[in-house]
A and B are shown apart, each in its own frame.
Chain A
């Protein structure tokens, strides 16, 4: 995407947003995410893609895709959800946080008029997915919560064609819209950025507690959940923090949710730190496993053994992966072929 190219008359949408309150004097309050932006006429929310126009709140990115790719589902990453399937993956501009280490800041940290986008309405999303034999549509790359209406309607269209919908999100969303969204999607991967509020304040510009609440809500539903934790050297990588995180997951969600500890690479506003040492990731992995989590992965380290899924009962590899490629699957009817242990996930 070219952030520097402009069209003078930006082709933005003007579709009324969901989840906001109207107040006197043309003021509104957005209740989609925990920021609760209160806005006067002509103002945009923190996300930069929702605007109060004359006292009505609009999404400017409905049907405006700024990135469209076909990715393996493993790239999201979702490791326990239709392995090796292709996901039509799309994004619209914007984000409701501002992570200093964002990998996609050129689409997430900009206003929609600052980048090129395609008109790609919800019904076309489902059609293109079907045409390209993608059983999954993924809302990803930027922050799908801020293009909620587009994602929701495209998911509905997908469902009509038997397509599954997955959401890759920071989880910075309020319970009501999340619960509504879960009626039309099949899996959600949450990027948990750290397990302390100071990190969220300083490096994310967001709140940890609502993200934890969102994770709990998803875990209690039928929607498949996986968690990614980007391990950043010196900032969120202590064994103590990982231990507390693991204990929280164990207590609130249970041991079976897959968690991916991913390697950080210097990016955006955080170029002063080195990539995460593999030894740190292995240590973090060990802590989580020791605490009782059963499906713990290491991400962004090509060829690492913890890219694979191990049966927690017999310890055999039940899904062998190399980067995003599936080498073999030893799961049948959701069970380990070697010992018959149930492996949680959506397998067909």
Chain B
């Protein structure tokens, strides 16, 4: 069984749609605690990251300010990590480009001190020179993923995707390769699963957290106010497939509530989750996922 913890933060969003940091911190603490079975936050984090590591927090900022991983969500997570044995200079919050990070509201920090925030396109970062060939994938990987971090958290925005069906924690790693545009055919299947299955992702990935504070449930991945819903939720799992599966079902529920056809009816069900399950990457089956809901 895979455990997925869905933490709903009452009042997590303030009037101006800024995340309430106090609530957010409690949401993370609860999420970690229920996921790991540890009571104290530092014990939870030691459970997840038992060794000295350099952590990459891979976020998704392609959607601009309205529908990207929120800066508050990323910074709150990073700050919590520093309360364990992880030093702040060993944490990188990152995505493809500095332009996208800035447009999503992130303030870059390229310096050695403090939690660093930058894109792969930063001078002297770039892509690792080794072309990775794995199944149907042939890509260069961001050197942040390959060289500058030893463990990875996918902190992805949860949203509808016109081609993939759903974009969540696994597809977030498309932002770690140089040629994601080559992997959107056939509903991104099997490519999402196969990119995740590369050693550079699979062996480093430790945790999926879906930012479902505001969810785009239709016409994604770009932002459309009329098809977005404030959920105030974070979804946690060690199982990358199960986390995305629960994210998918969350989107389906919203679509049904709004009278929209299911993704299957629109011929864009995220089949890559089944592929990922078949590849042994996790569970994409309701019967093998234990969903625990927590209110904060």
- Please judge, given known A-B contacts A6-B121, A205-B185, whether A111 and B126 are in contact too, CB under 8 Å: no
Interface residues on B, range: 20 to 34
How would you classify the secondary structure of chain B's contact residues: helix, strand, loop or mixed?
loop
Which residues in A have their C-beta under 8 angstroms from that of B129? Answer: 4
Whether B202 is near chain A, meaning CB under 8 Å from some CB there, is no
Whether A269 is near chain B, meaning CB under 8 Å from some CB there, is yes
B219 touches A40 (CB 8 A): yes
B222 touches A38 (CB 8 A): no
A41 to B219, CA, bound (A): 10
A268 to B132, CA, bound (A): 10
A161 to B240, CA, bound (A): 59
**Which residue of chain A lies nearest to B179 when distances are taken between CB atoms in the complex?**
A109
Stretch at the interface among A43-51, A121-129, A209-217, A240-248: A43-51
Interface positions, chain A 264-281, Cβ under 8 Å from B, are 268-269
How would you classify the secondary structure of chain A's contact residues: helix, strand, loop or mixed?
loop
- Please judge, given known A-B contacts A40-B162, A40-B221, A43-B222, whether A98 and B182 are in contact too, CB under 8 Å: yes
A110 touches B179 (CB 8 A): yes
B182 touches A109 (CB 8 A): yes
Whether A113 is near chain B, meaning CB under 8 Å from some CB there, is yes
A46 touches B121 (CB 8 A): no
A42 touches B123 (CB 8 A): no
Which residues in B have their C-beta under 8 angstroms from that of A6? Answer: 120-123, 125-126
Q: Which of A27, A47, A100 is B181 in contact with, Cβ under 8 Å?
A: A47
Which residues in B have their C-beta under 8 angstroms from that of A180? Answer: none
A269 touches B179 (CB 8 A): no
**Which residue of chain A lies nearest to B62 when distances are taken between CB atoms in the complex?**
A42
Whether A8 is near chain B, meaning CB under 8 Å from some CB there, is yes
Q: Most chain-B Cβ atoms within 10 A of its Cβ — which of A4, A9, A44?
A: A4
A27 to B121, CA, bound (A): 27
Q: Which of A4, A39, A47, A269 is B127 in contact with, Cβ under 8 Å?
A: A4
Q: Which of A25, A42, A205 is B182 in contact with, Cβ under 8 Å?
A: A205
Whether A114 is near chain B, meaning CB under 8 Å from some CB there, is yes
Interface residues on A, range: 20 to 34
- Please judge, given known A-B contacts A110-B179, A113-B121, whether A268 and B138 are in contact too, CB under 8 Å: yes
Which residues in A have their C-beta under 8 angstroms from that of B223? Answer: 41
Which residues in B have their C-beta under 8 angstroms from that of A38? Answer: 162-163
A110 touches B123 (CB 8 A): no
Which residues in A have their C-beta under 8 angstroms from that of B255? Answer: none
Which residues in B have their C-beta under 8 angstroms from that of A47? Answer: 181
Hey, what's the 0/1 contact readout for B192-222 against A, CB within 8 Å counting as 1? 0000000000000000000000000001111
B221 touches A269 (CB 8 A): no
**Which residue of chain A lies nearest to B126 when distances are taken between CB atoms in the complex?**
A4
**Which residue of chain A lies nearest to B140 when distances are taken between CB atoms in the complex?**
A3
CB of B221, distance to nearest CB on chain A (Å) = 6
Which residues in A have their C-beta under 8 angstroms from that of B148? Answer: none
Whether A235 is near chain B, meaning CB under 8 Å from some CB there, is no
A8 touches B121 (CB 8 A): yes
CB of B255, distance to nearest CB on chain A (Å) = 16
Q: Which of B123, B127, B181, B220 is A45 in contact with, Cβ under 8 Å?
A: B181
A268 touches B131 (CB 8 A): yes
Using A6-B125, A8-B122, A98-B179 as known contacts, list a sample of 18 further A-B pairs with CB atoms less than 8 Å apart, ordered by residue number in A.
A3-B127, A6-B123, A8-B98, A10-B121, A25-B219, A38-B163, A40-B220, A41-B222, A41-B223, A42-B64, A42-B221, A43-B221, A44-B181, A45-B181, A48-B181, A98-B182, A111-B178, A114-B127
What would be 19 A-B contacts, judged by CB atoms less than 8 Å apart? A4-B129, A5-B126, A8-B98, A8-B99, A9-B99, A26-B222, A38-B163, A42-B63, A42-B222, A43-B221, A43-B222, A44-B181, A47-B181, A48-B181, A98-B138, A110-B178, A111-B178, A114-B127, A269-B133
A interface list, Cβ under 8 A from B: 3-10, 25-27, 38-48, 98, 100, 109-111, 113-114, 205, 268-269
